[in-house]
Each structure stands twice: as C-alpha cells, then as structure tokens.
Amino acid sequence: MKLPELHIGDLTARLPIVQGGMGVGISLSGLAGAVAAAGGVGTISGVQIGFREPDFEKDPVVANLRAIGKELQKARERSPHGIIGFNFMSVMKNYALYVREAVRCGADFIVSGAGLPFSLPELTKGSTVKILPIVSSARACRLIVGKWLRQGRLPDAVVVEGPLAGGHLGFKYQDMVQNTYPALEDCVAEVRAYLDTVESEHHVSIPVIAGGGLAAHEDVCRMLSLGAAGVQLGTRFVATEECDACPAFKQAYLNACEEDIRIIKSPVGLAARAISNPFLQMAEEQGRIPPARCYGCMEACSPAETKYCISGALFDAANDGSGLIFCGAGAAKLHELTTVPRLLAELSG
C-alpha cells in the first residue's frame, strides 16, 4: 500500500508518519529535524528542554525558554521546509510560558497531553500554529472539543494514544497492570466516530493520528484502514543514529527483553511504561529517594512527598542512561540502530 500524504490544516507532510515527542532530551532538534527532512513530522519534546543549558540549575525556566528557540532553529537548519513542532505536557509548571514561546519562535504545531490541554486555544490565539490534543478515549476528546469550542476553536488534528505507548499513559494504573485496557484499534474507532459528528456539524476536517505500539508498515496500513489519517511512533525512532538520546540510553533499548519492560506509577501519579534497571529497582526497594533539589517542573508534585524527582531521573537517563528510561511496549523487538531515512522507508513499505 502506497502511503498517502498527511494534511493538518494547511500543512502537508509527504508521509503520514509523526515522530512522537520524547523527553527529557530524547527528541530534540537532531531527531525532529531528520524526520521532517525525510518527509515525516518532527516533534521536539519541550519537557525540561533546557536541561543542558549552562544556567539551568540556577534558573530552569529561563534556560528552557532559551532552549525552545535554539532547538527549533537547529531543527529548521536540518529541514528548512519540513513540519516541526513541540510536545508540551499540560501538567507542566509554566506550561503557558513555554507554549507561548514556541508560538513566538515559529513552531508549526503544538501537541499536548498528560492531562487535558484546555488552555491551548487561548495560548495560541492569533497565530497559525496548529494545535493537537493527545487523548486515549472519545470521552477525553469530547471534553476537550467542548472546552475549545467555547473558545472558538477546534483541534487541527487529534492524536489517539493507545495503551502500548511509552512514557506516561492515559489509562488507569490498575487497568494497565491487569491488562484490562482497550485496544488501540477500539480507541481510534471511537474517537474517529465522535469526530465524524463534529466534522459534519462544523464543516471542518479533523484528522486522527494513531499511536502506541506501532512498529511496522503493516501497523501503519492497519491504522489507516480504521480511519486514521496518520500514525505516531516514538520507540522505533530511539533506535536511530539521529536520535538525541545518549548511546547508553539507546543501548538500554537494544538490550531490553520483554521481562524488562514494566508498568510503573510515576511520581506525577500517572501510569507509565519504562525499562527495569538499577534505578527503578532502588526506587522500589527504598520506597522513596528524597530529591536533592526541586526543579519546579510539575504542578502536582510535592517535593516533600514525591517518590523521587522525575526530572532528575530523566536527566540521568538522558545523560548516561542511568535514570528513568521510558519506552514503548515494542522496545524489546529492537536489536540494532538504523537511520531515520531507512526507518521511514521501511514504514512506507
């Protein structure tokens, strides 16, 4: 099957393949720029994006704001005409500041999940930036669309993320550990059915982008046959030369077996998928690793009570592979590095 183009408003990608945002420091300008240059959609993770800036420890917010512009500029140098945007978690502190800075710097789109991004229309008002919520059910999609309509806006596309995705998940922890979650196919079908009614009522087009556990051309074709206009992948892109992750992080993916991939409850209270390693084992054995300092990253986090500092754990993973390593369900199937152009060619069939 020859893959169609992906249309998000007036943006057109040659391939209907979106590289998912992965933080901290996993999908920055290197990966996003390479994907966009090869015809896909590149996503820079905005989560603690400035963690390698020299003044980050002193003022994380200023460092993050500066890094948003720097990473976008570097990605544009790799792909001047490609589609490049940002992923921001809606539970981040200073979410509004970061979104507005990405808009000011000229991002093509903002994709946002880990909560319901009700404020996204207001934060992007007056710009041409496309806004894409991440949902895992038609109920969540309905809530967002209702709130956005009251602000005179609709999603330019909707990312439907299923239970096999990496990082934070939109499903209850108990459902994940007991395998009582719905299939991605069912999530896509119900969201697509709901958006069909929205499209008919408002005379617009709102494409669905399906993600979570997709890894092969056959997966892409299956999602398109269910009504998705495109797919989102993260885990497969980690095992590429262009990925911004450190070599040890990539090697953790290549070394992982099925038993190493676990569902955890992250310090922000959400279910998440990660690779078991000495850090996770220590966190479980000790019950709590008191943070050395607070980076003020999450609205819901209490430094005096949190199990461990999620920012610090993700910094360690990004820098040397020793911290919290998020992954998708298919990480154990990766055994060697490839390049972004080769991966996109494989996914294209």
- On the question of pLDDT at 178 being above 80, the answer is yes
Instruction: Note whether 173 and 263 are within 8 A (CB).
Output: yes
Rounded average pLDDT over 155-181: 96
- On the question of pLDDT at 304 being above 80, the answer is no
pLDDT tens for residues 309-339? Answer: 899 999 999 999 999 999 999 999 999 999 9
Write down the pLDDT at residue 47: 95
H-helix segments, the chain: 29-37, 60-78, 95-105, 120-123, 138-149, 173-177, 184-202, 217-225, 235-238, 247-255, 278-286, 310-320, 340-348
This model's pTM is above 0.75: yes
HSE at residue 334, side-chain half, CA atoms within 13 A, is 29
Write down the pLDDT at residue 324: 96
Rounded average pLDDT over 260-281: 94
Write down the pLDDT at residue 309: 87
- On the question of pLDDT at 228 being above 80, the answer is yes
Would you give the distance in Å from CA 19 to the centre of its chain?
A: 8
pLDDT tens for residues 129-157? Answer: 999 999 999 999 999 999 999 999 999 99
Confidence class of residue 171 from pLDDT cuts 50, 70 and 90?
very high
> Rounded distance, CA 184 to CA 161, Å?
7
Would you give the distance in Å from CA 269 to the centre of its chain?
A: 18
Domains of the chain: 6-245+333-348 (3.20.20.70), 248-320 (no CATH)
Q: How far is the first Cα of the chain from the last one, in angstroms, to the nearest whole number?
A: 7
- On the question of pLDDT at 100 being above 90, the answer is yes
pLDDT tens for residues 9-48? Answer: 999 999 999 999 999 999 999 999 999 999 999 999 999 9
Rounded average pLDDT over 68-84: 99
> Rounded distance, CA 339 to CA 194, Å?
37
Confidence class of residue 289 from pLDDT cuts 50, 70 and 90?
confident
